Structure 1
């Protein structure tokens, strides 16, 4: 099967419509469906955590305290007092709370939200 045949038969994984744009074919979703999937993932992340932690994570994102280091997998995040930085990912964080692993830190929640977007 050639590449042109693959693009003619590609369908959206969400709604099943035919995909024509190369970017949509690579993602597996059309623009509208991809936005809906992103929003659902973001809402799922927010619903899974305590409101106070989510508020701190959203504040971190709004203030630009999270920067992608490696694509959308690893992020450099700033501490709540602004004196330290940490490496955070959706799965882990090297801050004190993240290393103790008693609960999910707000750096990790912010990384999950940004990765879902």
Structure 2
């Protein structure tokens, strides 16, 4: 599997120089803000929030439009879904019973 490297932060668009930052797509300040926003989310199951943070830090959530709509990579790595804080096109998101971790990740990024 080939991983994407980023030259600019996906959140603030500043130049990325460190190897860890180019791999994740976020600079250290933006990554800290994302983790702080994740700590403030308490209305979802902790294991889903953990999966959402992992999705963000692995670079699996890429902003598409106005940093409100994102493209998320499935846990299998073979499919992608469009997600936003309000909904997701993954199977769990389409059922709509509970928020999927893609949608929680979008909520974290918008709140950061």
Could you tell me the TM-score, scaled by structure 1's length?
A: 0.63
5+ long unaligned stretches in structure 2: 1-32
- Asked if residue 103 in structure 1 is aligned to residue 102 in structure 2, the reply is no
Shift of 1:48: 1.0
Runs (4+) off by over 6 Å: none
Shift of 1:96: 0.2
1:45-64 to 2 correspondences below 5 Å: 45=41, 47-64=42-59
Could you tell me the TM-score, scaled by structure 2's length?
A: 0.65
1:19-30 to 2 correspondences below 5 Å: none
Aligned mates of 2:38, 2:59 — CA distance in 1 = 18
Deviation by residue 1:24-51 (Cα, 9 ceiling, x = unmatched) = xxxxxxxxxxxx9xx4x54332x11101
Q: Which residue of 2 aligns with 1:9?
A: none
Aligned mates of 2:90, 2:53 — CA distance in 1 = 18
**Residue of 40, 47, 64 corresponding to 1:44:** 40
5+ long unaligned stretches in structure 1: 1-35
